[in-house]
Amino acid sequence: MTGDSSTSPPDAGGAGPARRGLIAFAWLWVGVPLAYGLYELVRKATQLFTG
């Protein structure tokens, strides 16, 4: 085998700024509703068990 770099997987650490922005947006798209849902779950479970 030679040192041919065309067969190696792309480097994920070298993502450009546009890709980083997309990743951040995707995390927010999922994370914000998830955090709100967990907050509501804890709030309603507290009401259920404390009366």
Helix/strand/coil for 16: coil
The answer to whether the pTM exceeds 0.95 is no
pLDDT in tens, 23-36: 999 999 999 999 99
Rounded average pLDDT over 36-49: 97
Q: How confident is the model at residue 40 (pLDDT cuts 50, 70, 90)?
A: very high
15 CB-near residues (< 8 Å, 6+ apart): 23
